[in-house]
Amino acid sequence: MEDEISSIIAYALAISDERHHLIDLKFENGMDYSKGEYAKAIEKSFSFLSESSFSSSPWSSTSSEASLSSLSSFSSDDFSGYDSSSLLSPMHPEMTVNGKVTLKDKYSVTVVYDNQFFALRKKCCPSELAYITSLSRCKKWNAQGGKSKAYFVKTTDDRFIIKQINKTEFESFIKFAPDYFKHVYHSLDTGSQTCLAKILGIYQVKQIKHGKEVKIDLMVMENLLFGHNISRIYDLKGAIFSRRITDSNDHDTVYLDQNYVEDMSFSPIYIGGRTKHLLQRAIWNDTSFLTSVNVMDYSLLVGVDKEKHELVFGIIDYLRQYT
């Protein structure tokens, strides 16, 4: 059965969503939560979401019996044992998910930059409930190039990718997140061109089993290829050396720079002048931002959709700062 840490995150976010709703009510209706009523309301909110509420999605995701397994089944060598004092802030609330749900072990989820990501999702997702429901059901994705034991899945509706990140990536994002939100909001508000794959959540899931704490840091990002029938995928870094994949019959193979150069020699991709200008402007805007926060290692993902005669592209893997 599937290992679905994402359903733990979904439950934590459901609690968080209810909390945001109550905060809105407090300001709109003048409710007084100063004497503990707010805490009681939060505790009550644990009961509004059960496993059965994960059975269907507004985005038509498929579902099956939910299951969870030990976090220790994933690689944790680089994901624990570091100072997490930077998370001790109201901006990164930690939520225990064992309140009204019976789980074998104890779990908690730290929602990094909770309010900021919540506000961003309000602009990018149909609703917070739709986002939560998508996360509640996932499937393993054997994407090429990932760490062998790292947690790497797609939601069953294909809208989001959930990826385990390491200590360096986690701590880097904590540092440059304010600039990230500023950059994304500027693009959304002004229409400035961007091709940065949007990160919609960063979470740290903790499991306590037999008295031992295991942590895993996860990133949720949009799936750039959602809604497309992709015939060829390239991961481009602008380098040729050691950037070639031997041809494979696997439909999910991600090809590299040298493959791209070779393919263009006999099957070139043509784009119009305006499209080229927009692509160049988006890459310029995003790479300028990444340079400003000392991020130098990232990729341009390019997907070829022959049915729609479209190219899908976006900058991914941009969490690691240069040191």
Model confidence pLDDT, tens digit, residues 92-111 = 877 776 655 556 678 889 99
Count of CB atoms situated within 10 Å of the CB of 66: 16
- pLDDT band, very low/low/confident/very high, at 151 (cuts 50, 70, 90): confident
pLDDT at 33: 41
State residue 246's pLDDT score. 77
Angle at 138 between CA 136 and CA 140, to 5 degrees: 160
Q: How far is residue 145 CA from its own chain's centroid?
A: 17
Which pTM value belongs to this model? 0.77
- Residue 136 contacts residue 13 (beta carbons within 8 Å): no
Per-residue pLDDT of 6-61, as tens digits, reads 888 998 888 765 655 654 555 445 444 444 444 444 344 333 333 333 333 334 33
99 vs 308: CA distance, rounded Å: 48
CA distances from 106 to 154, 239, 307, 318 (A): 24, 45, 47, 32
- Residue 121: CB partners within 8 Å, gap ≥ 6? 128, 131, 200, 201
What does the chain come to in residues?
Answer: 323
Average pLDDT over residues 173-184: 96
The winner for highest mean pLDDT among 12-16, 74-78, 180-184 is: 180-184
Q: Do residues 19 and 33 touch, judged by C-beta distance below 8 A?
A: no
Please enumerate in sequence order all residues whose Cβ is within 8 A of that of 168, keeping only pairs 6 or more positions apart, or say none.
320, 321
pLDDT at position 99: 57
Q: Residue 160 is inside which H or E element, if any? A: strand 160-165
Top pLDDT among 80 and 319 is at: 319
**pLDDT of 20:** 59
**Arithmetic mean of pLDDT over the chain:** 77
At 194-228, the pLDDT tens digits run 999 999 999 999 988 878 888 999 999 999 999 99
- One CATH from 3.30.10.20, 3.40.50.300, 3.30.800.10, 3.10.20.520 for 5-222: 3.30.800.10
Task: Determine whether domain 232-316 maps to CATH 3.30.810.10.
Answer: yes
* Bridge partners (DSSP) listed for residue 139: 154
Q: What is Dmax (Cα atoms) for the chain?
A: 72
- C-alpha distances out from residue 24 to 13, 32, 260, Å: 16, 12, 50
| 8 Å CB contact between 141 and 152 | yes
CATH 3.30.800.10 occupies which residues in the chain?
A: 5-222
Arithmetic mean of pLDDT, 128-142: 87
Q: What percent of the chain has pLDDT over 90?
A: 40
Report the pLDDT value the prediction gives residue 209, as an integer from 0 to 100. 80
Strand partners, 316: 299
Q: CA 204 to CA 94: how far, in whole Å?
A: 9
- Specify which of 102-116, 237-251, 278-292 reaches the highest per-range mean pLDDT: 278-292
Radius of gyration of the chain (CA): 21
Which residues does residue 205 pair with via DSSP β-bridges, in sequence order? 109, 216
- Lowest mean per-residue pLDDT among 66-70, 113-117, 191-195: 66-70
Edge-to-edge strands, sheet with 232-236: 254-255, 232-236, 299-305, 310-316
Instruction: For CATH 3.30.810.10, list the domain ranges present in the chain.
Output: 232-316
Instruction: Please give the pLDDT value at position 322.
Output: 83
- The CA-CA-CA angle for residues 164, 168, 169, to 5°, reads 50
H helices then E strands: how many in the chain? 7, 11
pLDDT computed for residue 238 by the predictor: 80
What pLDDT, in 10s, does the model give residues 250-274? 677 888 888 899 889 988 888 899 9
